[in-house]
Structure 1
């Protein structure tokens, strides 16, 4: 047994447990730390490991009739022999085209596997100091303890990691109606009348009636209530004020703020609109755009109604709705490599929501990938990343993309928009079913071709 090859994993949530099981089956000795069962965070209720809190759904599955980005990620995880995905499939409950689980059975089975594994030593401890001379995986999630948060912030040379933020919705560019919307920068007269991209912003023009309807839903739409532990320290900054709070300050406030039409000429009318919603490019590929100034705490169903009121976005594909909550995550583009190693401390890896990924499936996938790279690094092999045509590879590259350095960085989950675009003409523009099928075929083909480079054969154990 490889007694000298011990790995410290801090956090026994979804990412940490997946990583522990992956390393254990390769012969490594894992020290898995968590403050459970002696202590739980304000967001948790169970004393078991790998607790799923908000929902029992792991998202959509790929079927013959339809494919989803979340389904593609799970298909990739199945090929890579994901341990927690196998547990989820064993304890699944009927949920149509989605993978939903019996929550209690899921966490119980994962806990039992961890406890019974001879290669995993579980240590009930609220870790405050990060070991400096050993290999460490930190996977403590959005409710990381204040003591560990302080240690991570110190290593990363940051004052703090958690804050309240109100993030704006992100829209898939290919769902925007450019018969209405137009590219143009403010006061860019050269862009007038052009339909091709000739500016940095996509503009959705509103007349007085559409604007007032939008303001009305912003003011009266149902908001998400903060949890008790969030209310205690919620603090908004003027630069990221939720759009509904701005709207409540007066009907005309948004027209003098993020919806200011000044300097933007609608090529259809030759005039400035009454108001305008601008969208700004969110990724290097230009497939995702965020709604400028529309950070919000509205409930998701209300956000959907709000977005559908905006000319040009009536059929918008929202890849992430706006959220407002306390969160703990690092600014991955500045400090993290796509291999999930810290740039300045490559013996420390991170996984789960700390990296800026959202969702149960995404947390498990990053835990799995971190374990693969730790195993490789211990065998003096270079850490690797799946092809960017795969959903897992695209997700890792998105959260560490260089263009987001020194920019506002917000967590995201798997979505079609982070994948490289398909060759032009390979599908009809509005045939999303055909497009998604091609994405799946390309991703799984690339993953299978990449598999031999992963070298996942178990280490010999005496």
Structure 2
């Protein structure tokens, strides 16, 4: 294959992996540059492509949720990330969760074996002159981040993303914990019930626990509300956890038949079911403090941690100002951004931006007019958010019903409304695909 016109894709995360795959599937030669393992990050543990550094859950997987609509669109468009997720899924009720290592291994193997993809392991310290997709994610290396800052002329907003701890299943005391799904759904979660006394003791320990020391550049904290550290939620009031990640509703204890005062849920983290993560327990506590505080949870008093929670810095650009509506830098039309660095938040939202950047890159290389992605779709709604939001209030966004256009009819029930939004999205996506992408 002639590689003289290789397209650079920087970053081997979800967005970069998806972008490389989409371009390669269209016959374009790709050089996928990933700095790991030569340069590590505070959050990654392997050198595999598509490694998940936070939760192993990709969110709801049905058309009655915005996340499910996005998944349906990605599957329709031949997403490698969705293919990997479907091949490596683990039980998680109505959510799609994966075995982390198998998931990343699947992606790495597919990319490594593709004849149009060449993988280079090195750090990029400057922006390329040739056409490229920048998908270096929230953990972009400082040198490249500085280059991006210079070329955009815009300051980055920053926020912190926290990772939940993982424990070994064999160390969970199942005489105190029980398996159940909320409201009688499949029993895919382990539930650790608390009475009022146990909850108050845990809450007091949590809010007074010592947090990890931050670097100087991490002092200006702006948390993303969709992924708050558990101790930050707790600090907002003694009952905030019971109305959030420790909500006991619909999870009666089979031993008593009654709902507990609070419930800590654990979700399967790998295919073999040997690892479970604490749902909603993203944290910035020191590791020793995590062991001390989280072992106050009934059922986890003897827990052995496979991984402690950590906290890392995320960066993203002010997309409505920096990007041109097609994920290109306004002042460098041959450079596209993809993934969380564009200002979306979430695994599959990042994946979607990788897919879109690759498609727009293909149109740019063919010198054909860029198609406008239909705003009725989940992907189109995210793109519209990135291009039309007031720059003064712009912040990272997940896919949600609020960014979709209104329906022509009023539907009171959220599930039914979402179903209708999903049906409309797929109709518009199919027409868009036939008109521009087929």
TM-score relative to the length of structure 2? 0.69
Structure 1 residue 163 displacement after superposition: 3.5
Partner of 2:158: 163
Kept in 1: contact 2:5–2:29 (CA 8 A): yes
2-structure distance, mates of 1:232, 1:87: 38
Kept in 2: contact 1:339–1:373 (CA 8 A): yes
Partner of 2:36: 36
Report Cα offsets for 1:198-241 as digits up to 9, x if no partner. Answer: xxxxxxxxxxxxxxxxxxxxx9795699985745533248xx7x
Match of 1:412 among 375, 394, 397: 397
Match of 2:425 among 437, 443, 461: 443
Kept in 2: contact 1:34–1:123 (CA 8 A): yes
Match of 2:75 among 74, 78, 89: 78
1-structure distance, mates of 2:213, 2:3: 42
Structure 1 residue 121 displacement after superposition: 1.2
Structure 1 residue 37 displacement after superposition: 2.1
1-structure distance, mates of 2:313, 2:331: 27
2-structure distance, mates of 1:436, 1:32: 37
Kept in 2: contact 1:230–1:325 (CA 8 A): no
Report Cα offsets for 1:72-94 as digits up to 9, x if no partner. Answer: 00001111111121111011111
Whether 2:371 is the aligned partner of 1:375: answer no
Structure 1 residue 422 displacement after superposition: 1.4
1-structure distance, mates of 2:84, 2:312: 30
Count of equivalent residues:
337
Match of 2:380 among 393, 415, 420: 393
1-structure distance, mates of 2:121, 2:109: 15
1-structure distance, mates of 2:206, 2:393: 26
Q: Please show how residues 219-230 of structure 1 align to structure 2 within 5 Å.
A: 228=212, 230=214
Partner of 1:107: 104
1-structure distance, mates of 2:336, 2:214: 28
Kept in 1: contact 2:42–2:312 (CA 8 A): no
1-structure distance, mates of 2:111, 2:434: 28
Partner of 1:136: 132
Kept in 2: contact 1:223–1:297 (CA 8 A): no
Q: Please show how residues 225-264 of structure 1 align to structure 2 within 5 Å.
A: 228=212, 230-236=214-220
3-state secondary structure, aligned to 2:118: strand
Structure 1, gaps ≥5 residues long: 167-218, 243-289, 310-321, 457-462
Kept in 2: contact 1:60–1:68 (CA 8 A): yes
Q: Please show how residues 219-368 of structure 1 align to structure 2 within 5 Å.
A: 228=212, 230-236=214-220, 299=231, 302=234, 306=240, 326-368=313-355
Rate the CA distance shift 1:70–1:227 in 2: closer, same or farther, 3 A.
farther
Partner of 1:150: 146
Structure 1 residue 418 displacement after superposition: 0.6
Rate the CA distance shift 1:14–1:226 in 2: closer, same or farther, 3 A.
farther
3-state secondary structure, aligned to 2:30: strand
Match of 1:88 among 85, 89, 104: 85
Structure 1 residue 38 displacement after superposition: 2.1
Kept in 2: contact 1:36–1:49 (CA 8 A): no
Rate the CA distance shift 1:299–1:384 in 2: closer, same or farther, 3 A.
farther
Structure 1 residue 384 displacement after superposition: 2.6
Kept in 1: contact 2:56–2:98 (CA 8 A): yes
Rate the CA distance shift 1:42–1:26 in 2: closer, same or farther, 3 A.
same
2-structure distance, mates of 1:110, 1:442: 31
Kept in 1: contact 2:154–2:318 (CA 8 A): no
Q: Which has the larger radius of gyration?
A: 1
Kept in 1: contact 2:23–2:30 (CA 8 A): yes
Structure 1 residue 408 displacement after superposition: 3.3
Structure 1 residue 409 displacement after superposition: 2.2
Kept in 2: contact 1:130–1:151 (CA 8 A): yes
Report Cα offsets for 1:127-178 as digits up to 9, x if no partner. Answer: 011112x11100011111011001101111135x363579xxxxxxxxxxxx
Partner of 1:423: 408
TM-score relative to the length of structure 1? 0.65
3-state secondary structure, aligned to 1:349: strand
1-structure distance, mates of 2:80, 2:73: 13
Rate the CA distance shift 1:108–1:328 in 2: closer, same or farther, 3 A.
same
